Structure 1
Amino acid sequence: MSLTSHVAELRKKHQTLSAQVEEAHRSPAADGLEIAKLKKQKLQLKEEISRLST
């Protein structure tokens, strides 16, 4: 897997997590811990993307 395709895959995962976070925020039964976990994963992906892109 090339670096470019790896970064593209990470961006895709980041976008998926963003959608999950937004959906969880709209849900009345949203679990705060689950939202925090998703946000942490999203941040880790963003940091990795940034690190690989430089």
Structure 2
Amino acid sequence: MERTDSETQHQGVQDPGARLAVLRTEHRDLDTAIDALRSMAAPDQLQLARLKKRKLRLKDEIAVLEDMRVPDIIA
């Protein structure tokens, strides 16, 4: 059975550089969504919290992928 592109992305098999670009885009999109939700007269606090939590998870995953790209240098 062949895997679809989305299945490959979710299982971490995708190229780390491409995955990093996807995560950065999603992180930026979450910024926009959070700002839009905050600007509403009565923002949904639960949805806002979920978006912020997702954004933090993305930030952590981005940091891990960036660390993988930089080789350790033994001094």
Q: Same fold (TM over 0.5)?
A: yes
TM-score, structure 1 length as denominator?
Answer: 0.94
Structure 1: gaps of 5 or more residues: none
What are the ranges of 5 or more consecutive residues in structure 2 without an aligned counterpart? 1-13, 68-75
Where relative contact order (Cα < 8 A, 6+ residues apart) is larger, the structure is: 1
CA distance in 2, matches of 1:28, 1:42: 23
Moved over 2 A (4+): none
1:26 matched to 2:33? no
Which one has the bigger helix percentage?
1
TM-score, length-scaled by structure 2: 0.69
Alignment partner of 1:13 is 2:26: yes
Structure 2 residue aligned with 1:40: 53
Q: Distance in 2 between matches of 1:41 and 1:15?
A: 12
Percent identity between the aligned chains?
A: 35
